[in-house]
């Protein structure tokens, strides 16, 4: 399933779609956070926070290609 359909389903409250989305992007976001934070536990916490923020704002998310929102959200999380 492509990202557009996953996001559409997540906007409709489909928890299975969110689970698939997390599985698809977890390693990438964790790697990004680990690179910027260097502490494994903190990177894992920030990765989880990134997904939570994404879901909190899913209604206003405009899907255009690859969901690069994560990069910005993870970056902000790492700086906080």
Summarised one tens digit per residue, pLDDT across range 16-68 is: 999 999 999 999 999 988 988 888 999 999 999 989 988 888 888 776 666 55
Query: In the CATH hierarchy, which fold is given to the domain comprising 3-79?
Result: Rna Polymerase Sigma Factor; Chain: A (1.10.1740)
Query: Residue 74's pLDDT is what?
Result: 53
DSSP class of residue 62 equals: -
Residue 80 has pLDDT above 60, yes or no: no
pTM of the predicted model over 0.85: no
* Per-residue pLDDT at 70 exceeds 90: no
Predicted local confidence at residue 21, as pLDDT: 92
Give the pLDDT score at 69: 54
**Alpha-helical segments (H) within the chain:** 3-11, 15-37, 40-56, 69-79
Let me know: does 74 contact 50? Beta carbons within 8 Å: yes
């Amino acid at each position: 399933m492509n990202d557009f359909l996953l996001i559409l389903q997540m906007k409709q409250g489909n928890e299975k779609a969110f689970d698939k989305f997390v599985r698809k992007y977890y390693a990438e976001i964790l790697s990004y956070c680990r690179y910027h934070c260097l502490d494994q536990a903190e990177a894992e916490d920030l990765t989880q926070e990134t997904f939570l923020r994404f879901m909190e704002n899913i209604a206003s998310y405009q899907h255009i290609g690859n969901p690069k929102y994560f990069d910005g959200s993870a970056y902000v999380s790492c700086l906080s």
